[in-house]
Amino acid sequence: MLCLRQVCLFTLRRYQARTLSSDLLVSQINSCTHEDEVFSLVGRNKARLSEKHVAIALNVLWQLQKKRPLLLRTSDYIRNHSQFLTLCILAENKVEHMEDEAIVDTLYSILRLNVQDHDSLAEVLVTEAWKRLERLSLPALSKFALCLYKQHRHFSPVIGKVAHIVDMKLDSIQDIRVLSVLMISISDVISQSFRDRLLHKAEQLLEENDEVHFNYAKRILQFLQNVKLRYHPLVEKCNKIFLKSASCLDIHSIGFIFGQYEQLGFDSAEFRLVAKQLLSETIDDHHDPETFAKLFFALGPMAGSKVRERLLLTAVHMAEEFSSHQVLVVLKTMQKMKCRNSHLLKKMASVLHKHLDSYHVLQLVKLTQYLVALRCHNLELFAKLKMLLFGFLKSNVIPADTAAIIRVLAMLPSFQVEEIIISKAAAVLPQCRLHHLNCIAAALVKWNHYDQFHWQNNSELCVKLLQKLNDYGFQRLQKANNLNLLLEELTHVNGEWFEEVLKEETMAVCQLLVDQITRANVLQLSFFLIKTNDRCPSLLDRIASVTVENIDKIHPFEICFILFLFSALNYDPPANEAFFESCIQRLTSNLSFFETHQLVLLGHVLAVAGYFPPVLIKRIFNVSFLSKLDAQLEVLPHTLKQRVRLHLMKLNRAVCLECPEFHIPWFHERYCQRVFHNSSSRINPLRQHVHRMLTEILGGSNYARISVLTPYYYEIDFECILDENKKPLSYTAQHIPLDEVEGIHMRHDINGEGRMALPPGAQRIALEFLDSKAFSKNSRHLKGEPAVKKRHLEMLGYQVVQVSSQQYFMSFLSWINSAD
């Protein structure tokens, strides 16, 4: 017994000593402030290192790197150190004894230290974690899933298993950080219904948490991009988080957010204002190519003239240092800025030569598009691009890539079509979606139009190929039995080929699938009908009924676009009043969802349809609102900025004419004068000819005016005045004032009460010569804008005659002649 007791005491003392020693070593590793300290401890204690020590040491190495700025990190030094290799070998040998969390932490640490994905330790850790997958905590599961995502195991069986566990435990996840990591990690292996559950859960957690780190919101944007879903309600929630966290955002985060917004079709003037201020304050801090390229991308499109010139000058000086990716970013941004700075463009073209061979096929396609849009004239560069694109075309077997290459080859200057293009296009046609067929068709039509075929028989081959292409397009439409999938294919389909060949068949198929219109696809269908300008009663009526039935489930921003469809096409669905009132009630109750410029666009949409909700009108025509609008307009893209200003003027005009009870003043006189004087439109020969005919019939040049500018700046093609007996009156005899500016007559004959100063019984006649743009496709029904103009001209005292062709115009002249 005594001997046994002594053995036990000796063993206990050894165990306690070892435990104390181990705890001391753990403490020493955790207290290290430099990588060399960690390696020194590892070197002196190799024999004593347990699996716990190894895991902690690798984690500390990553934590030390994490504290440093990206450019000051020394991952290469760490990976090449002999003691790091020792740690990796020990970890690989002891992996089975590691705790669950330690395995995941170790895998995460080595991947963040840029250890290769196929490294033996990484493979062993993944395998061991896979075995323990079911018992991992949710935070550990999310960290492991992120490791798999960083290893590009997007479709691996283990990711599928992770997705299954998330599906089972989704209701129990209460941490938005954990959820956001899991969402992006499993995004490639989830069903649509599972995707929708994840989105609903994310929205719920964002609403429940007042303080959400902006990184979690960034991950949610990445998820939406991964699943190719434009879901504005969730993006808006993320945008609010970014605005709250503005002081924490750096150039990398701002660049990422702008990039995601662009991909997701979202824009926020408020975020642009914040980002512009932050970036402008730090513009002198970005001296390396990587951060400057991000600065150029984010700040360039919204910079003022002085900052813009600074950015362009810096880009010229830094051009030689840009990587291949940074060159693409700069050229893309120049296109967005509509910048054709010849010096910078030449510099970028010269730099491109050393990078061309490193681009993959879709990067070359984008590069070609940017250079063509920027009007680059470097023929040597285009020749090399053509050679590289041809090389990819010959070896490519992916229909989408083949179509993209063919489309971009058609953009190259002085391009001669070779037989290989025709044969490659013919080979992929059976596998092409409508968008790909559209790309190939656009190229073939262009080449055929400009006779760019190298051999005569190529032209004949092109015609035959176009016929085949048409047949495949029809076949694809006729097989369509799912409206959601069809609308997805039609998203990027447009142009001459679609209009002339497929549009009618497409509309017929959509009508066959009318019962599949739901609140989930009503917006996408509305976009398609806006794009096609097609007034299809069965589809429009179904959209209206689905919208009313689901009015509380459809986002206000989506309702705005749906109303735009009906307003633009000037279409009244059954129960028109109930439809518009229901939509307006939903919108006016949720005006906070809209930014200032969006409210202006909404107000104009409703005004075209004849609706002026007082709460919206009073909100827009307010000094503080207009001041805020002016500030936000400064950072909006140029095209959008011009559209908002134009629509504000039109809304101001409509309110003045149709709602005088609001007492809103007309404050766009100077704006209209500036737009008028900057306008390039002049009287065309056809209108001059018609004017001569009109004056001959009416009795002379004093009896008719061409291009008259009315009060509130409507321009009408022709004006004349008839007395109470329908006889033409002379402008000179009646002393009616008209100024003439470059052939445009400007009226100044409105008295204080807003009535026309005409002889008793006389009537002004406004003759409008309408082209096809004033009507819906295949319809003689006026669209919204021309109908509003007619309504407003009548309020200004005109009898309006709108004619749509020369034949109808001649009928009008006959009517005037007979009256005379």
CB 254 within 8 A of CB 275: yes
| pLDDT, tens digit, 9 for 90 and up, residues 636-657 | 988 999 999 999 999 999 999 9
Span 666-680, mean pLDDT? 86
Q: What is the pLDDT of the chain when averaged over all its residues? A: 87
DSSP 8-state symbol, 521: T
| pLDDT, tens digit, 9 for 90 and up, residues 682-721 | 666 767 777 787 777 777 777 788 888 899 999 888 888 8
CA gap 269, 177 in Å, rounded: 27
Pairing of strands 744-747, 738-741: antiparallel
| Residues pairing with 417 in the sheet | 453
pLDDT at residue number 777: 81
* For the ranges 164-173, 417-426, 797-806, the one whose mean pLDDT is highest: 164-173
CB 253 within 8 A of CB 218: yes
| pLDDT, tens digit, 9 for 90 and up, residues 336-358 | 998 888 899 999 999 998 899 99
- Among the residues of 282-418, which ranges form H helices? 289-299, 305-318, 324-336, 342-352, 361-373, 379-395, 399-409
How does residue 22 score in pLDDT terms, banded at 50, 70 and 90? low
Span 238-254, mean pLDDT? 93
Span 27-41, mean pLDDT? 90
pLDDT at residue number 173: 94
- pLDDT of 748 strictly over 60: no
How does residue 815 score in pLDDT terms, banded at 50, 70 and 90? low
pLDDT at residue number 263: 92
CA gap 351, 376 in Å, rounded: 14
Tell me if residue 173 falls in helix, strand or coil.
Answer: coil
CA gap 37, 391 in Å, rounded: 53
| pLDDT, tens digit, 9 for 90 and up, residues 483-532 | 999 999 998 888 888 888 899 999 999 999 999 999 999 999 999 999 99
pLDDT at residue number 57: 92
How does residue 13 score in pLDDT terms, banded at 50, 70 and 90? very low
- pLDDT of 12 strictly over 70: no
Q: How many CB atoms lie within 10 A of CB 358?
A: 10
- pLDDT of 756 strictly over 70: no
* Secondary structure of 242-280 as H, E, C letters: HHHCHHHCCHHHHHHHHHHHHHHCCCCHHHHHHHHHHHH
Percent of the chain with pLDDT over 90: 60
pLDDT at residue number 14: 42
Q: Is the Cα torsion angle 810, 816, 819, 820 positive or negative in sign? A: negative
DSSP 8-state symbol, 713: S
Q: Where are the beta strands (DSSP E) in 536-670?
A: none
Q: How many CB atoms lie within 10 A of CB 147?
A: 24
How does residue 448 score in pLDDT terms, banded at 50, 70 and 90? confident
DSSP 8-state symbol, 248: G
- pLDDT of 755 strictly over 70: no
- pLDDT of 451 strictly over 80: no
- pLDDT of 229 strictly over 80: yes
pLDDT at residue number 731: 75
CB 568 within 8 A of CB 608: yes
| Phi–psi pair at 81, nearest 5 degrees | -75, 140
Span 388-405, mean pLDDT? 91
pTM over 0.75: yes
- pLDDT of 744 strictly over 60: no
CB 198 within 8 A of CB 190: yes
Q: Please give the order of strands across the beta sheet that includes 763-769.
A: 738-741, 744-747, 705-709, 715-722, 763-769, 798-803
pLDDT at residue number 5: 41
Q: Which residues 6+ apart lie within 8 Å of 352 measured at CB?
A: 327, 367, 381
pLDDT at residue number 111: 92
- pLDDT of 134 strictly over 50: yes
Side chain identity at residue 155, one-letter code:
F
- pLDDT of 797 strictly over 80: yes
CA gap 554, 537 in Å, rounded: 22
* For the ranges 198-207, 733-742, 775-784, 809-818, the one whose mean pLDDT is highest: 198-207
No. of helices (H) and no. of strands (E), the chain:
40, 6
CA gap 214, 17 in Å, rounded: 47
- Could you write out the DSSP letters of every residue in 394-439? HH---HHHHHHHHHHHTTSTTPPB-HHHHHHHHHHGGG--HHHHHH
Tell me if residue 799 falls in helix, strand or coil.
Answer: strand
- pLDDT of 226 strictly over 70: yes
Task: Tell me, rounded to whole angstroms, the distance of Cα 753 from its chain centroid.
Answer: 47
Give the burial class of 665: count Cβ atoms within 10 A of its Cβ; 0-12 exposed, 13-18 middle, 19 or more buried.
Answer: exposed
How does residue 751 score in pLDDT terms, banded at 50, 70 and 90? very low
Span 121-145, mean pLDDT? 93
Q: How far apart are the first and last CA of the chain?
A: 139
Span 297-318, mean pLDDT? 92
DSSP 8-state symbol, 453: B
CA gap 133, 141 in Å, rounded: 7
Q: Which of 471, 472, 473, 449 is nearest to 459 (CA)?
A: 449
CB 314 within 8 A of CB 340: no
Which H helix or E strand runs over 716? Answer: strand 715-722
Tell me if residue 93 falls in helix, strand or coil.
Answer: helix
